[in-house]
Amino acid sequence: MRATDNRYRGERARFELAMRMIQHEARTGTIRYFTDLSDDRIRKLYTSYFKYDETTPVKRRRGKSPTQIAPLVQNPDRVLESGVFVSLLRANGLISIDDPPGPVLRGSLDLGHRLCQCYETHLLVVPDPVLSFEWGWNLLLGIRRGDELGITRCEECLMSYVYDLLALPHRACPACLSLQVPQPENNGNYVSSMV
């Protein structure tokens, strides 16, 4: 094996992850975060492989990734969908309960592929999903920061769900609301640690 083979293998792996993320309509900044490719290279990849391909229509989102958390927890359906995605993130090692916030994401091709796998699985298991790849990325960052979003467990149905740490009063469990389970008075008995 020549020394250059290893360099090209690493370059190819970064291109493969970038292509996978472009298919999910990830923004340039998100792709750069995981692959360390320049903005120009990412745009050229899109232009070369996706822009004129009518069989796989891919939109390029402009601007920065979303940072607001309100759309992720604005109603019970969104909270449930966010909870499914967070469960997939936990199962794939992108969020750690024992060692918060979790593994270092920047420049990690493996974790970038895991994020893509979480999103692809999410699309398969959630009927009519609203969460886009970029909103999933925002959810991952919000949970890892731990300053606005948290995970709690309902004492009635034992389901874990995402909630807004700054909202007062805390909203009721989205699963119980969906199933119309009678809600007890909010006595502050919610477990606020990551469950």
Inter-CA distances, 138 with 106, 113, 132, 150, Å: 14, 16, 10, 13
- Does pLDDT of 195 surpass 50? no
Distance of alpha carbon 124 from the chain centroid? 15
For residue 32, what pLDDT is reported? 95
* The pair of three-digit structure tokens given for residue 148, joined into one six-digit string: 């606005």
Question: 59-110: per-residue pLDDT in tens?
Answer: 887 788 888 988 899 888 999 999 999 999 999 999 987 777 778 889 899 9
- Return d(Cα 113, Cα 96) in angstroms, integer: 17
pLDDT by residue (tens digit) across 35-67? Answer: 999 999 999 999 888 888 777 778 887 788 888
Instruction: Tell me the DSSP string of 172-191.
Output: PPHHHHHHTPPPPP--S--B
